[in-house]
Amino acid sequence: MTWLRSARTATGELVDLRIADGVIADVQPASGRVDGGDVDLTGHVLLPSFVEPHAHLDKALTAARAHNVTGDLLGAIDAMRTLSLGMTVEEIAERADAAIRIQLAWGTTAIRTHVNVGGESGLRALDALIEVRERWHGTVDLQLVALVHNPLSGQPGRDLRTALRNGADVAGGCPHLDPEPDRAVAICLDAAGEAGVPLDLHTDETLDPGRLTLATMADLVRRTGFAHGVTASHCVSLGVQSEIVQRTVSDAVAEAGIAVVALPQTNLFLQGRENPQATPRGLTAVGPLRRAGATLAAGGDNLRDPFHPLGRGDALEVATLMVTAGHLDPAAAIDSVTAASRSALGLRPVTLSTGAPADLVAIAGTDLLDVLGAAPAARTVWKAGRIVARTTVHSSIADPALAVPEAVS
């Protein structure tokens, strides 16, 4: 049993929390006391730990070796395809492990990663990530999405079923890049249904308004009654549709129970290069989706690879972009990387209330806005009530000169 003392909540209250058997056992107004064995969180904001709903751990940390010549999506795909031919299971696992450590230090305790399968790479990346998933079991929840090539009506569709039989947790794909996009959505949905697993598709990662497979997804999910959970990632083209189309599709997405994952870092980097004037933001229709009641999560997507050469692996970086580029208020932005992302992955909700899982992150700061604005590195992370990461920071800053230098005549 452990008490976390004098923690500031996202809504501003000061509380003491008791953790026992992996859950929050009690929440009380802060007493001001700190006994031996307690964790003093004075000057910290306590939040549910972060959830990364869309990563690519098999590609992470390769930017220095795989240069995206054109800077766009197809350039990134080409750069990664060339590099992946020489990758070994050991190397992929090593980089994925390093990326998880980066994200865990910032407070992320659950990650859904898409893993390339099929083609010349076969199942190497999946084998590597299965090994990593087992290694981190109990510390970081890792879900593996089988990301296959196109056309889905050919060998890639068979590769998807093979990957699901060999340890992938979620069915994936990129139907909007398929010669038959609508048919590709149906193939992926059928594969997921046969395996009894969730579906998470790269959806409409383009500014072309003529591509809108999200509408197809919503229609198929509603008509088939698919019950294993569906996530649509990216959904960029929805952001350039007319107001009526945005509203109609958003309503259909909400009715179908599809979670949408916005990925501001990668899509701001990749999209819009063909429009040097009045460059579009390259994000999904954040406002219409939220007004429709759809689950809107946000993720980091790529961590220092050809699809996005930068990134700290910090969910607060994503949340900040959801404020700046997505125009969310700070509380909603934090929700997009905590509660909404957790819902998209089908995970048990985490709230600062009795009985909730003790998956938490304490961040140095005075309030939620301070934490989001400064994104301090000083953090403590709990998974099931156990401290799994702690970062401390010490700064030494010189005092300004007190004496004014005499004027030289």
Q: Helix axis angle, 89-106 relative to 124-135, nearest 10°? A: 40
Catalytic positions: 205
pLDDT at 50 over 80: yes
Domains 2-49+352-391 and 50-344 share a fold: no
* Mean pLDDT to the nearest integer, 339-354: 98
CB atoms within 10 A of CB 323: 18
Question: What does the alpha-carbon distance between residue 47 and residue 38 come to, in Å, rounded to a whole number?
Answer: 18
**Average pLDDT over all residues of the chain:** 95
Locate the DSSP E strands across 134-227: 141-147, 170-171, 199-203
pLDDT, tens only, 101-141? 999 999 999 999 999 999 888 999 999 999 999 999 999 99
pLDDT of residue 185: 97
On the 0-12 / 13-18 / 19+ scale of CB atoms within 10 A, 147 is: buried
User: If pLDDT is split at 50, 70 and 90, which confidence band does 275 have?
Assistant: confident
Q: Coil, strand or helix: which one is 238?
A: helix
pLDDT at 86 over 90: no
User: If pLDDT is split at 50, 70 and 90, which confidence band does 399 have?
Assistant: confident
pLDDT of residue 324: 97
- Please report, rounded to a whole number, the percentage of residues in the chain having pLDDT higher than 90: 90
> Do residues 298 and 266 make contact, with C-beta atoms less than 8 angstroms apart?
no
Tell me the residue type at 215. Answer: A
- CATH ID of 50-344, from 2.60.40.1180, 3.50.50.60, 2.60.40.2140, 3.20.20.140: 3.20.20.140
User: If pLDDT is split at 50, 70 and 90, which confidence band does 405 have?
Assistant: low
pLDDT of residue 81: 86
pLDDT of residue 406: 66
pLDDT at 408 over 80: no
pLDDT at 409 over 60: no
pLDDT of residue 121: 82
pLDDT of residue 82: 86
Per-residue burial over 51-87, b = 16 or more CB atoms within 10 Å of its CB, e = otherwise: bbbbbbbbbbbbbeebebeeebbebbbebbbebbeeb
pLDDT, tens only, 4-42? 999 999 999 999 999 999 999 999 999 999 999 999 999
For the chain, give me the number of helices (H) and strands (E)? 13, 16
pLDDT at 156 over 70: yes
pLDDT at 3 over 60: yes
> Do residues 43 and 364 make contact, with C-beta atoms less than 8 angstroms apart?
yes
Determine if the pTM surpasses 0.85: yes
Specify the fold of 2-49+352-391. Answer: Urease, subunit C; domain 1 (2.30.40)
pLDDT of residue 357: 98
pLDDT at 1 over 90: no
Tell me the residue type at 111. Answer: I
Q: Give which of 370, 367, 332 is closest to 321, Cα–Cα.
A: 332
Residues across the chain? 409
User: If pLDDT is split at 50, 70 and 90, which confidence band does 226 have?
Assistant: very high
What residue spans define the domains of the chain? 2-49+352-391, 50-344
The tokens of 335 are what?
A: 């929700």
